[in-house]
Amino acid sequence: MPTAKKTFLVKGMHCASCAITVEHELRKVPGVHEANVNLANEKATVAYDSEKINDDVLRSAVANAGYEALISHEFEEEDKEKIAREKELSDLRRKVIVSLTLGALIVWGSFPVLMSFAPAFLKNPWIELLLATPVQLWAGWMFYRAAIPALRHRTANMDTLVTLGTSAAYVYSIAITAFPQIISATGAAPVPYFDVSTIIICLILLGRYFEAKAKAGTSEAIKKLIGLQAKTARVIRNGKETDIPVKEVIIGDSVRVRPGEKIPIDGIIESGESSIDESMVTGESIPVDKIAGDAVIGGTVNKTGTFVFKTTRIGSETLLAQIIKLVEEAQGSKAPIQRLADKVSAVFVPIVIILAIATFVVWFAFGPEPRLTFALLNTIAVLIIACPCAMGLATPTAIMVGIGQGAEHGILIRNAESLEMAHKITTVVFDKTGTLTKGKPEVTDVIAFGNVSENEILRLSASLEKGSEHSLADAILKYAESKGISASIVEKFEAIPGHGISGIINGKRWYLGNRKLMERAGVSTAEREKDAIRLETEGKTLVFVSAENRLAGVVAIADTLKETAHSGVEILKQMGIEVAMITGDNERTAKAIAGVAGIEMVFAGVLPGKKEALVREMQNSGKIVGMVGDGINDAPALAAADVGIAMGTGTDIAIESAGITLMNKNIASVASAIRLSKNTMRTIKTNLVWAFGYNIILIPVAMGALYLPFRILMNPILASLAMALSSVSVVVNSLLLKRRKL
């Protein structure tokens, strides 16, 4: 069953209930496996069966919920989304200006203090009706447009509350204007409240405008990444250099890049050399020297030299495109902590409507005169102040900013769950080779025993390693090549996982591997143990060479620690996090390397398949484990860990292998990722406390809880202002994450 994933814009959502409604409609569609709707970036991410569902089906599902889906197919079409957002802001701005102007005129003619300075015609209720109607039915139509489909689906959202509150004030005012005697007969004062309905709509629209402007800042990282994409490429075809759009470049094209230019697409350098600024992808500020054969990443900047490279990946397959997609999907994912907000939001609006009805009934029955007016204004205040915007924005805005900030520092977070879990990590387990070390082992010593020469040991080792995929094989082969030693033909080659290799050379069975392989082959290493111990305590990995049952020699290989290993480990320890190292090396070599890195807990001699079991053993003892590996060989352990952290080297494989991928080689970035998680979770909790606290405190005030003891009531206009400010404050608090250092 072919599964596709698509992220697209949903227009018209304004609260958590809106997002839940759209999410529910998408999940109902046969063939949809999963759907997440993010209120903060107004996007839906849907995983579905591509044979059953197309874009039209998704659009229809969203439309059925009462909203509009804007689906683009390529990153180049991001402009469509930008235009749509700019149009929405422009419409909001225009409606705010009109509402504010007309509302100000109504207030001028109806507010007691200002009435004495107002022209006579503004005091006429029919003129007030004329001024209020465009606000209610034009500027406020967006609330009706969203509330009606919700009613059809037997649900309620923020727009339902605004529609009920403002419509009640508007219709009541029309009744007073048209039939003042009838209203007076009920005991109510014949005073219209067009100012209430108009100013409420104006303030909510103003809040929504500022909210939209602020939310744009939460997706700044995506905009920056998209901005990295080059528009043109200088392609060499038929001996001629031509500037063409990047989308017309094909795999295998030769592309020339000059100093100061942006590398347009992924590829391999064919000729020339340069220094390249990869900071926008890796977060590392120091330029990287590149020569023929090295990979280059589209979107990075060429600093010094001129070179020609062959394209290897285009379009959505480029590293930058993958990163953009990953960040976008991650920003749209839901953290487990959001489930509480979603559950509350799902029942919140119906509860508010019940409370509003109860408020009206109680005050109409027992309130002071004029009871109808008193009950109506309190009811409107309850409906307006309780809009659950802040609850819906509390988690996703912080998640978006946190994931975006990570991307800007070369920390790619695959989903919100990984971001949330990272702050709980109590133990970080590092793989050794390629993670703590540079991953470029070199031969340091070749020792021969008996009548065999060192060159012969090197020749035999290179011959056996030629058929091996082990990380140490390349080091031996390169060293042999540098010595001008050619490999011999090997027959009946056999790889023994976790031990080494063997094969027949010139009719004799040779073994190449660790002590375990020697024991397995019945070869004693006791006579040379003194030399072996000396080399291992220097942090070198030993590869023993034997013929039949006789030890013939040993090759020592060293893989030096990364410059940031010790400092990165120290930062983690200062944060109170336990640090361990896991490796297949013997205990002496492992402890020597771990000692330099500052790691006390060492697990040595661990076979590749046992790393996962060791991680699970730690988890069973109550530890929250973050596993740090190269993203390929350590895949099972990365998957088993509470948070898998891949020390990526800019490869798509690394991006796919873990919950968090560090695009640079800096060990300190592990601590930065955990610190980012802590900062984000702190912000989310602050947002949620504010969102829930705001409603818990102000809804009773709006209902009139302070009227009897203190004669304090919540004016509906103040309620609308408080509601608007609550949403904006949550978004602004999330944006403050950008100022916190990692």
- Tell me the pLDDT tens digit for each residue of 687-741: 999 988 888 899 999 999 999 898 888 888 888 888 888 888 998 999 999 888 8
Burial of 134 (0-12, 13-18, 19+ CB in 10 A): middle
> Amino acid identity, residue 495?
A
Query: How much is the mean pLDDT over the chain?
Result: 87
Q: Which residues contact 464 (CB under 8 A, 6 or more apart)?
A: 490, 493, 501, 502, 503, 505, 510, 512
User: Nearest CA to 129 among 188, 204, 180?
Assistant: 180
DSSP string, 457-499: HHHHHHHHHTT---TTHHHHHHHHHHTTPPPPP-EEEEEETTT
| More confident: 52 or 115 | 52
Q: Which residues contact 184 (CB under 8 A, 6 or more apart)?
A: 190
Distances (CA, A) of 681 to 9, 15, 90, 337: 26, 21, 34, 9
Q: Is the pLDDT of residue 77 over 60?
A: no
Predicted local distance difference test score (pLDDT) of residue 639: 85
Predicted local distance difference test score (pLDDT) of residue 78: 56
Provide the token pair at 491: 């027959």
DSSP string, 220-271: HHHHHHHHHS-SEEEEEETTEEEEEEGGG--TT-EEEE-TTPBP-SEEEEEE
Predicted local distance difference test score (pLDDT) of residue 17: 76
- Average the pLDDT over 369-373 and give the result: 85
The answer to whether the beta carbons of residues 13 and 22 sit under 8 Å apart is yes
Provide the token pair at 592: 């020597």
Highest mean pLDDT among 72-76, 519-523, 572-576: 572-576
What band does 566 get if pLDDT is binned at 50, 70 and 90? very high
- Average the pLDDT over 215-220 and give the result: 72
The answer to whether the beta carbons of residues 376 and 715 sit under 8 Å apart is no
Number of helices (H), then strands (E), in the chain: 28, 26
Predicted local distance difference test score (pLDDT) of residue 276: 92
Cα 468 from Cα 464, distance rounded (Å): 7
| More confident: 392 or 123 | 123
Cα 239 from Cα 65, distance rounded (Å): 56
User: Nearest CA to 201 among 101, 113, 351?
Assistant: 101
Q: Is the pLDDT of residue 37 over 60?
A: yes
Which tens digits make up the pLDDT trace of 254-269?
999 999 899 999 999 9
Provide the token pair at 348: 């919140």
Phi then psi for residue 428, to 5 deg, are: -110, 125
Sheet holding 266-272, edge to edge: 240-245, 232-237, 254-257, 307-313, 266-272, 295-296
Name the 3-class secondary structure at 501. Answer: strand
What band does 76 get if pLDDT is binned at 50, 70 and 90? very low
The answer to whether the beta carbons of residues 464 and 476 sit under 8 Å apart is no
- Average the pLDDT over 22-32 and give the result: 91
> Amino acid identity, residue 608?
P
The answer to whether the beta carbons of residues 306 and 234 sit under 8 Å apart is no
- Could you tell me the pTM of the whole model? 0.79
Q: Scan for tokens 């099972």, then name that residue.
A: 636
159 in catalytic set:
no
What band does 419 get if pLDDT is binned at 50, 70 and 90? very high
Does the bond joining 336 to the residue before it have cis omega, within 30 degrees of 0?
A: no
Buried b / exposed e over 333-365, threshold 16 CB at 10 Å, is: bbbebbeebbebbbebbeebbebbeebbeebbe
Least confident of 291-305, 318-332, 501-515, 663-677: 318-332
The answer to whether the beta carbons of residues 141 and 147 sit under 8 Å apart is no
Would you give the end-to-end CA distance of the chain in angstroms? 42
Angle ∠(458,463,467) on CA atoms, nearest 5: 135
Please name the residue ranges forming H helices in 111-154: 112-115, 125-134, 141-152
DSSP state of 736: G
The percent of residues above 70 in pLDDT, for the chain, comes to 95
Predicted local distance difference test score (pLDDT) of residue 706: 93
Q: Is the pLDDT of residue 455 over 70?
A: yes
> Amino acid identity, residue 696?
I
> Amino acid identity, residue 523?
V
- Average the pLDDT over 284-304 and give the result: 87
The answer to whether the beta carbons of residues 327 and 407 sit under 8 Å apart is yes
Provide the token pair at 646: 């891949």
Cα 475 from Cα 442, distance rounded (Å): 5
Catalytic one of 431, 559, 585, 630: 431
Cα 474 from Cα 480, distance rounded (Å): 10
- Average the pLDDT over 187-214 and give the result: 84
Least confident of 74-78, 315-319, 360-364, 388-392: 74-78
What band does 79 get if pLDDT is binned at 50, 70 and 90? low
Cα 166 from Cα 197, distance rounded (Å): 5
Give a three-class secondary structure readout of 327-354: HHHHHHCCCCCHHHHHHHHHHHHHHHHH
The answer to whether the beta carbons of residues 631 and 658 sit under 8 Å apart is yes
Name the 3-class secondary structure at 431. Answer: strand
The percent of residues above 90 in pLDDT, for the chain, comes to 38
Which tens digits make up the pLDDT trace of 88-111?
889 999 999 999 999 999 989 887
Angle ∠(39,741,402) on CA atoms, nearest 5: 15
Buried b / exposed e over 542-566, threshold 16 CB at 10 Å, is: bbbbbbeeebbbbbbbbbebbebbb
> What residues are paired with 560 via a beta bridge?
none
Least confident of 146-150, 347-351, 449-453: 146-150
Distances (CA, A) of 3 to 93, 124, 423, 532: 41, 63, 32, 53
- Average the pLDDT over 206-235 and give the result: 80
Which tens digits make up the pLDDT trace of 266-283?
999 999 999 998 887 776
DSSP state of 610: G
Q: Interhelix angle for 319-332 vs 220-228, to 10°?
A: 170
Angle ∠(391,394,400) on CA atoms, nearest 5: 140
